[in-house]
Amino acid sequence: MPNSPSGDSSTDRLIRVLESFTSTRTAQTAAEIGRRAGLPASSAHRIVGELVATGLLERDDDRRVRIGMRLWELATRSSRALRLRQAALGPMERVQRRVREHTQLAILEQDEALFVEQLSDPDSGSNATRVAGRLPLHASSSGLVLLAFGDRALQERVLAGPLSALTGETLVDQAALRRKLAEVRALGHALAPGFVDADATGLAVPVRDETGAVAAALSVVLRRGMPVEPALAELRVGKLELERALGFRGRA
Ligand code: PHB
């Protein structure tokens, strides 16, 4: 890709434009995008115009632009999250109906837990996650599962830090985190009381695909103090259903 005078490629600039959109900043003017993406106004206007012409961005009546449905279509139709999400919806609905708290599915993505599906009840408790949101691996129940069953290089990278605290209870000590990962592997689930939010306990189990590798974490966000065992039993049923749908036939 051709480089600009500042040395970044057109792909870098395109990514910065797309990354300037967030879950709370869904519509922006080309000038705002340029400022946030660190682009000269003329480049920002040209790139935004090209993206609008291809449908990757859409223009509002008031000249602001948002992520286009075409981008959603291209990103969704062949992503690995799609198959997983489709297989997971039935098992997740069952877990959510029985536990009646946020039920979510996360995958490992660039050393973070990325949430690809979430089912909630109107009166479920608080939740720091959303679909297409991320949480640090060391700080959430889903992340701890993905980390505990991830490869050694990933574990060492994460353990080397920095390990940021989301609450006073997030594990940020390397030795304590190593012990926690061993516990997650031994128990086959991760319990994260107050790690993300002082009022919530995350509870997650690993989900294996046809290769036998852990492909996802299935989790619920319980209100602090809620009994864990009934929710864990439901998660285990959901996990087995999902693993069967993904073609997991048991470890050799
Ligand atoms: C967790 O997975 O540990 C978790 C996620 C979201 C919350 C609380 C806990 O709001």
**Closest by alpha carbon to 167, among 202, 135, 192, 194?**
194
How far apart are alpha carbons 198 and 167 in whole angstroms?
7
User: Edge to edge, what strands does the sheet with 200-208 contain?
Assistant: 134-136, 112-119, 103-109, 214-223, 200-208, 190-193
- Find the largest Cα–Cα distance for the chain: 60
Q: Is ligand 1 within 6 A of the CB of residue 20?
A: no
How far apart are alpha carbons 49 and 34 in whole angstroms?
12
Across the chain, mean pLDDT equals 94
Question: What is the structure's pLDDT at 1?
Answer: 52
Distance 103 CA to ligand 1 centre (A): 10
Distance of CA 112 to the CA centre of its chain: 7
Q: Is ligand 1 within 6 A of the CB of residue 101?
A: no
106 CA closest ligand 1 atom index: 2
Q: What domains sit in the chain, N to C, each tagged with a CATH number?
A: 10-71 (1.10.10.10), 80-246 (3.30.450.40)
**Closest by alpha carbon to 215, among 76, 87, 101?**
87
Confidence of residue 215 (pLDDT cuts 50, 70, 90): very high
Look at residue 199 and give its three-state secondary structure: coil
Residues making up the chain, counted from first to last? 252
Q: Is ligand 1 within 6 A of the CB of residue 202?
A: yes
Distance 116 CA to ligand 1 centre (A): 14
Look at residue 216 and give its three-state secondary structure: strand
Look at residue 175 and give its three-state secondary structure: helix
Q: Is ligand 1 within 6 A of the CB of residue 184?
A: no
Confidence of residue 20 (pLDDT cuts 50, 70, 90): very high
pLDDT (tens digit per residue) in 140-172: 999 999 999 999 999 999 999 999 999 999 999
Q: Is ligand 1 within 6 A of the CB of residue 28?
A: no
Q: Rounded mean pLDDT of 196-202?
A: 95
Confidence of residue 76 (pLDDT cuts 50, 70, 90): confident
Distance 154 CA to ligand 1 centre (A): 21
Listed as own residue / partner, the contacts of 173-176 with beta carbons closer than 8 Å and 24 or more positions apart are none
**Residue predicted with more confidence, 127 or 162:** 162
Bridge partners, 47 (sequence order): none
In this model, does residue 53 exceed pLDDT 90?
A: yes
* DSSP 8-state code for residue 171: -
In this model, does residue 61 exceed pLDDT 90?
A: no
In this model, does residue 252 exceed pLDDT 60?
A: no
Q: Rounded mean pLDDT of 40-69?
A: 94
Q: Is ligand 1 within 6 A of the CB of residue 124?
A: no
